[in-house]
Amino acid sequence: MKKNLRQKLMKLAILTTVFSGLLSFACLAGGDVYEIYLNDKLVYKQEYKQVSGSNNLHLGDLNMNDKLVIKYSHCGVTGQDRSIVIKDENGKIIKEWKFTEAKNNQSVMVIPVKELLDLKAKTASLKLYYAAKQLPEGRMLASITLDEKKVAINNIVEANNSSLIFMEKYFFSLAIF
C-alpha cells in the first residue's frame, strides 16, 4: 500500500514538473512579438494576439530629433534579411530600410523620425510594414500620420505582466506539493 502511494506521488511530481516546464517556455504557437518605441517610450506592443497601445502614430515637427525603434521577434528568434517599408495609402512603396543580420539575437531596428517627416511632401498618411525571410509577405505594424504638431501618445500599462506573475506563483505552488 505504501509502495502504491509513493508511486502515485512520484508520478504526480513528474507530471507536475513536466507540465510546469512546458508552460515556462515564453513562446507559444504563432509567437511573433513586436514593439514600437518612440525614443525610449513604448507606444505599441503586440504579442500572442494581445495588443497594448495604439498603432496609429502621430508624428510632427516636434519629433524631428526622435527615433522610431522597432523590435520584432519570430517566436523568440530575430528575423533574417529584415526590412522596414513605408507605403502610401495606395500601397506604393515610398521608402525602405534594410537591416543586416542581428548580432546577439538583437532585434532592434532604428529609423530616424526625420526621415519619415521628409516624406511629408509625398503623403500625409503612411503605413509601416515589416518583412523578413521568415515573413516574406510582410506585416503592417502601424499607421503613421504626419502632422504639424506632436500628438500625445498613450502610455502602455503593464497589466499583462501581472497575469503572468499570478500564473507563475500558482504553478510554483502546485510544484511544491
Read off the pLDDT of residues 84-108 as tens digits, 9 standing for 90 and up.
999 988 888 999 999 876 565 567 8
> Which grid cell is 74?
519570430
**CA–CA dist 103, 51 (Å, integer):** 28
pLDDT score of 34 more than 70: yes
Say whether pLDDT at 158 is over 60: no
Pick from 169, 161, 170, 146: nearest CA to 52:
161
Give me the pLDDT at residue 116, please.
Answer: 86
Residue 43 pLDDT > 60? yes
CATH fold of 29-172: Immunoglobulin-like (2.60.40)
Q: Which three cell numbers stand for residue 77?
A: 528568434
pLDDT of residue 103: 62
pLDDT in tens, 45-71: 888 767 777 788 888 777 888 999 999
Q: What is the pLDDT of residue 166?
A: 43
- Using a CB cutoff of 8 Å and minimum separation of 24, what contacts does 14-19 make? 16/174, 16/175, 17/175, 19/171
- Give the confidence band of 155 by pLDDT, cuts at 50, 70, 90: very low
Task: Determine the pLDDT at residue 28.
Answer: 46
81: confidence class by pLDDT, cuts 50, 70, 90:
confident
Q: CA-to-CA distance for 87 and 171, rounded, in angstroms?
A: 45
> Can you give the residue ranges of every domain in the chain?
29-172
Type of residue found at 135: L
